Structure formats: structure tokens, C-alpha cells
Structure 1
């Protein structure tokens, strides 16, 4: 299902995508994946509060194995979502009850992006940071609605690996 037009878009981002952002995404779909990033970064610069663009950027770069760019896009998305949800800028200082992380919108996207950052850091070999992010996810989402268990399982599998 299309993340920008289907159920996932509403559940993750809390609503429809702005027409200007949808235009950039449509243009990015018409070029090879490795060239789409430039269009999505342009969209990010023109609409820095657009959560879907950050999501598409970190998913695209992670899928291409470009983990530095994926991390940058995820961090920008986390910042935009924190601002929109009224959360502290430092993810470590967010406490349970600071927002309704189960409701569609910026807070849920923030939590989802925190999980993405944990995965990116794990893929970069930064286990300690990935573990800290998963521990925060466990505090904020004790019933694992966002799916941090996947990253947790990958951390366990990689134990003992350099």
C-alpha cells in the first residue's frame, strides 16, 4: 500500500500529505531510486516540517545502504516531529505520558522514527546507542505498538559480534 495515500499515512503521520510535498514525491517516483534522494531532499528543504518526506528519505537511504544519509534524515524527522508534538529536543529526556504515542500524528511518528534510528545505529555497528534507543522505546511504548521488538531481536542476534 502507498504510504502517502493509504491507511499507513493516516496512522503514522496523522493526516493527508500536503499537495506540494505530494508533487515532489510524484517526481521522485519517476526517476531511478539513486536519483530520487535529491528530489526528496529538495522537498525536505522546502517543507522541513513535513514528516512524510523525512520518512521517505530515511527509508530510501537505508534501503540503498547509505546509512549516514539515513541517519541524517531520521534525525531531522525526529526534530520536526518533536517540535510538532511539543516534545523535548533530546530524545533521552522524553518521559512516558509526555504525549499520546498511540494516536496518529507527530508523537507517533516521533516514536516510529526513534525505532528507525535504533535500527540505523545497529546497522552502523553502534550497538550501545541502538540499545539506549530501544531502552527508551521500551519505556515509552511498553506494549510495543511501534514494533521495537524487531530491533531488540536483532540486537540479541548480534551479541558477540564485533
Structure 2
């Protein structure tokens, strides 16, 4: 007769917490008025100053909303402003870590702390945010930090669902076709600081 193994209390609590978070729908997780502002941002995309001002207004109005942090990340990512994009990727990680009961420092997270093996909404978004952080670090030329983030992704997502092994090959291989990942001459012109100052801005 097979033995029935009861799950531990901690495991049960963690599973209950994870499943209670399903599902995350981006459109349903921003204030209603924000959706109209987003349409206005897209309609005025060519006006960088105007659209950034609207994004900043959204952030100021709802600073603790995950959807707004995602909006900020996407805005700066598509503007090729990788330092700000990296900041907002970390901001998403901070928000998700607090809800998942994870350490504030992503480097301290281990596979046993959350059910990263399953494609739950918040754990998936956490991993995607760390992938985004790695990508933007690479674009800023901060390859050691980019590769460190990929190490953590591969630890938490050994199946490679987020594509960390492929990104590692791009980061470390021939840059002939991967130049889009690494700094262009215009990429960091608005951040004329040394590496230490850039690190402080992101951290």
C-alpha cells in the first residue's frame, strides 16, 4: 500500500498564495482613466516630451500599481532609454516580490521560495521582469550584471521558458548581428555619468 505524503503547512500556504493571485489581466489592473491616457500616449507617440509627461502623471497618480509600472517600463524601453527601463523592470520585481513573499534582493531568491516551475501569473511576470532587467543591462554595456541576472533566471527557470540560454548566447557571442542589444552611440548620451553613478541610478 502506498504511503500518503501530506504537504507541509508552509508548502500549502505558499501554493494557496500563488493560486489566489491568478489571473493577471493587464487591462483590468490599471485604473479605468489610465486606459484613456494610454490611448492618448500612443496617439502622440512622436512627441517624446508630451508622452513622457503623461507617463510621469500616471506614475504620480498610481505609484503602487503594477500595471502603471509596466506602462513605465514599456515606455522607456521603446524609447531606447535603457537606464530608466532597467529601473522600472526592478520596480516591477519589487512589487511582485512583496506579493509573493520573496526577498527584496532578486539575487537572494531561490527556486524553493515560489512555484517558478508552473506558469502562474505573478511568478511569470517576476521572471519576465528579471529578463527585461538583464536585457537592458546588456544594452547599457553592463554585461556582468546582465549575465548575473541570466544566471538567476536559469536557476529559477531551468526549462528555459523565458529564453535565458538563448539570450546568454547573444550576450556572449559574436556581436555582429546582436548589436541591437549593446550600446549605440546615442544610447547613453542623456546619462553622461560614470559606471558607478549609473549603478546608483538603477539601484
TM-score, normalization by structure 1: 0.78
Aligned counterparts, 1:10-159, within 5 A: 14-15=24-25, 16-18=28-30, 19-33=32-46, 34=48, 35-101=50-116, 102-157=118-173
Q: Which structure has the greater CA radius of gyration? A: 2
Q: CA deviation at 1:91?
A: 0.3
Cα distance change, pair 98–76 in 1 and its aligned pair in 2 (3 A):
same
5+ long unaligned stretches in structure 1: 1-11
Cα distance change, pair 112–98 in 1 and its aligned pair in 2 (3 A):
same
**CA–CA distance in 2 between the matches of 1:119 and 1:158?**
16
- Mean Cα displacement is larger for which, 112-121 or 33-42? 33-42
Deviation digits for residues 26-64 of structure 1 (CA, Å, limit 9, x no counterpart): 332232252323322322232233223222322321222
- Please tell me the root mean square deviation across aligned C-alpha atoms, in Å: 2.4
5+ long unaligned stretches in structure 2: 1-21, 176-181, 183-203
Q: CA deviation at 1:158?
A: 5.2
Count of matched residue positions in the alignment of Structure 1 and Structure 2: 149
